[in-house]
Amino acid sequence: MSSSRYKLPAALIIAGVFAVGVVACGGNGSSDSSSGGAGNLSGNIRIDGSSTVAPLTEAMAEGFQTENPDVKVTVGTSGTGGGFEKFCVGETDANDASDAIDDEQKKMCADSNVEWEEIQVANDALSVVVNPQNPVKCLTLDQLSQVWDAGSKVTDWSQVDGLDPPFDAEATLFGPGTDSGTFAYFTEVVNGEEGRQRTDYNNVGEDDNQTVTGVAGAPGGIGYFGFSFLRENEGTITGLEIDSGDGCVAPSPGTVQDGTYTPLARPLFIYPSASALEKPEFDAFMEYYLQNVNSVAESIGFIGLTGEQLSDNETKLNELIDKAGGETPAG
């Protein structure tokens, strides 16, 4: 009896020792087995930021790691803002962003001497979606604002001015949480001010799939999210055309790239830091990113860059690399 009482503490200690051993072995093992790959670059690359952009960066990291097995790239999803909090104190090498860096974040970066460049990696079409039973095919920006603006009293589609054809059903609104880059962009271009939106809507937080389910289940449902959610759910929901003054334009890769789907076409970014570009592995990763991003963007739900956007990026990256090279590392 008394001897068995000591078995638990003993087991715990043994477990602890064992764990440390496993960790030590694991560390050695991985570095041994991964050496001698095709590329001779090695090191760690840490990227964080928007969960919207993450799949694109992950696809790039995947491709890059097949060529350079000794480089360990990790991609986190703290959100655009949460990512900048880490990026601007130098804790990450690059930040994925679905919304451009704002003044507060710029100041934070400047305070810690983190130099960055804004590089567009893909396009997205913020898509406004409704239930397939809804006969309305097109909304003007003004009508969109009537529905979504702060203080809006619209509870039924019949209350929207100039609706064509007329539609009579209870309006059920679904939108992302207020921390989301999608929310920030939509409110700014539709309601004229970032964060300005009625509060009595179904807040789906970060889970846009809930908007799909919600809009598909309510005849008068309306919601908005990135283009990939529309493309994956065509049939269960319908994407609305948007009229910003020059006629109705549907969200599609073509209308985004030729600049007619305004103002809801939005750029997606990655922000590399100058000091990280001093590392050859990160330099190579960013080069790889820009060369290959367009070939996979469409297949994983994004809208590719135009030729002009691509060459613009190349210039920006080269400038930043020059900036990184021109600085003394002592700083």
Partner 1 sequence: MAPRTRIPGTERARLATSGAHATTLRRLTAQPGADIWKGNIFLAALLFALTIALAGLAAIILQAAIEGAPAFSIKLLTNGPSTVNPEEAGFRPALIGTLYLILGVILLVVPLGVAAAVYLEEYADGNRWWNRVVELNVQNLAGVPSIIYGILGLAFIVRGPLDLGFILAAGSLTLALLVLPTVILASREAIRAVPSSIREGSLALGATQWQTIRRQVLPAAIPGVVTGVILAVSRAIGETAPLLLVGAATFVTFNPSFLGDDGYSALPVLIFNYASRPQEEFRVLAAAGVVVMLVVLLAMNSFAIWLRNRYEQQW
The torsion angles phi and psi of 317, rounded to 5 degrees, stand at -65, -45
| Nearer to partner 1 (CB atom), residue 85 or residue 102 | 85
Min dist CB 8 to partner 1, Å, is 6
Binds partner 1 by CB under 8 A, chosen from 41, 50, 53, 55: 55
| Nearer to partner 1 (CB atom), residue 14 or residue 248 | 14
| Nearer to partner 1 (CB atom), residue 89 or residue 248 | 89
The H or E element containing residue 49 is: strand 43-49
| Nearer to partner 1 (CB atom), residue 17 or residue 150 | 17
Give me 35's structure tokens: 């050496």
Q: Does 239 bind partner 1 (CB under 8 A)?
A: no
| Nearer to partner 1 (CB atom), residue 80 or residue 146 | 80
Burial 40-54 (b: 16+ CB within 10 A, else e): ebbeebbbbbbbbbb
Min dist CB 168 to partner 1, Å, is 31
Contact string (CB under 8 A) for partner 1, positions 57-96, x = contact: xxx-xxx-x------xxxxxxx---x--------x-----
| Nearer to partner 1 (CB atom), residue 150 or residue 300 | 300
Min dist CB 174 to partner 1, Å, is 14
Q: Does 54 bind partner 1 (CB under 8 A)?
A: yes
| Nearer to partner 1 (CB atom), residue 55 or residue 221 | 55
Q: How many residues bind partner 1 (CB under 8 A)?
A: 50
Under rule CB under 8 A, which residues in 106-165 are in contact with partner 1? none
Under rule CB under 8 A, which residues in 19-48 are in contact with partner 1? 19-20, 23, 26-27, 30, 34, 44, 46, 48
Q: Does 10 bind partner 1 (CB under 8 A)?
A: no
Helix (H, G, I), strand (E, B) or coil at 169: coil
- Among residues 46, 115, 168, the alpha carbon closest in space to that of 321 is found at 115
Helix (H, G, I), strand (E, B) or coil at 25: helix
Binds partner 1 by CB under 8 A, chosen from 131, 191, 228, 257: 228
Under rule CB under 8 A, which residues in 162-221 are in contact with partner 1? 206-209
Min dist CB 83 to partner 1, Å, is 10
What's CA 323's distance to the chain center, in Å? 27
Give the C-alpha separation, 288 to 267, whole Å. Answer: 20
Give the C-alpha separation, 40 to 57, whole Å. Answer: 22
What's CA 290's distance to the chain center, in Å? 17
**How many CA atoms, within 13 angstroms, populate the side-chain half-sphere of residue 54?**
15
- Among residues 50, 48, 91, the alpha carbon closest in space to that of 73 is found at 48
- Among residues 123, 120, 100, 50, the alpha carbon closest in space to that of 302 is found at 123
Return all residues near 331 (Cβ < 8 A) that are at least 6 apart. 113
Exposed, middle or buried, 102 (CB in 10 Å: 0-12/13-18/19+)?
middle
Give the C-alpha separation, 156 to 182, whole Å. Answer: 24
Min dist CB 1 to partner 1, Å, is 9
Min dist CB 52 to partner 1, Å, is 10
Give the interface with partner 1 as residue ranges (CB under 8 A).
2, 4-5, 8, 12, 15-16, 19-20, 23, 26-27, 30, 34, 44, 46, 48, 51, 54-55, 57-59, 61-63, 65, 72-78, 82, 91, 206-209, 226, 228-229, 231-233, 296, 299-301
